[in-house]
Amino acid sequence: MRFHSPQKLKTIADLIGSEFVGPEDFEILGTNEIHMVKPGDIVFVNHPKYYDKALNSAATIILIDKKVECPEGKALLVSDDPFRDFNKINTHFTRIYNFTEELHDVEIGEGTKIHRTAVIGNNVVIGKNTLIFPNVVIGDRTVIGDNVVIQSNTVLGGDAFYYRKLNGNFDRLISVGNVVIENNVEIGNGCTIDRGVTDSTVIGEGSVLDNQIQIGHDTVIGKKCLIASQVGIAGCCVIGDEVTLWGQVGIASGNKIEDGSVILGKTGVNRDLKKGTYIGMFAEDFKGYLKKEVKLRNLK
């Protein structure tokens, strides 16, 4: 999430009531998660296991639960609860409406047709010649390109599935990102595409999604991908261009699939995959799988 204007380190520290390490006027441009951070961003970390990763990331401001040595050129915000304060910063700069108010700052392109039963949030942009079917829900800040088809009961921009356990209950990391649907995308019935926590969940140009597909927060789908029914993709995944995912494929969080890959039905992806064709519970090479099956059947 980028702030509307740059902020100062002391301003953010005062907002959340934290200590800080660094110059008072150290410039802050926004917030982001560890896998998406850029210079000027705040990233939060609340476990020693991940201190080094956060401190050595591209982020230049680290919201952390312990005062540590600050890397050169960076700053610290020292908080007793970085998770809570990350939410506080994000919701201070991005208001969450959740359809409770109809401000409807919506931009709709020429030739676009939207069924009267569709529900559209605030600060939404929809391009030209796009078709939105009955009962579609489009959340705040969603951006939809030209020549897009979104079929019935699909939800764009729901909350990210991102929680921590706190005092025996689940505490949500509030999603202030959005969904971006590029030009010439087709999305089937009953799909759910969650908005990013602090960035964008993206469906690339020319991709086609079947019915009943779930795509998690901050996942980026490449151009001209083909995704069949009941595929589930967790958050923070990167799917390359022209990738085919057949029915009931499941992809665990944070994995990458290279351009041109084919993932056959019911395959589970629990690691990054190079270009190829894969099958099986743990995504093994398809040719290797066939050879193994032949050997097993020839055993006597």
Q: Which residues are catalytic?
A: 217
Helices (H), 100-246: none
Asked whether the beta carbons of 37 and 65 are under 8 A apart, the reply is no
Token pair belonging to 83 = 């998770």
Cα separation of 219 and 282, whole Å? 20
Q: Which of 236, 243, 153 is nearest to 204 (CA)?
A: 243
Q: Of 222, 184, 227, 220, nearest to 200 (Cα)?
A: 220
Spell out where 174-260 has E strands: 178-181, 186-187, 192-194, 200-203, 208-209, 214-215, 220-221, 226-227, 232-233, 238-239, 244-245, 250-251, 256-257
Rounded CA gap, 160 and 263, in Å? 25
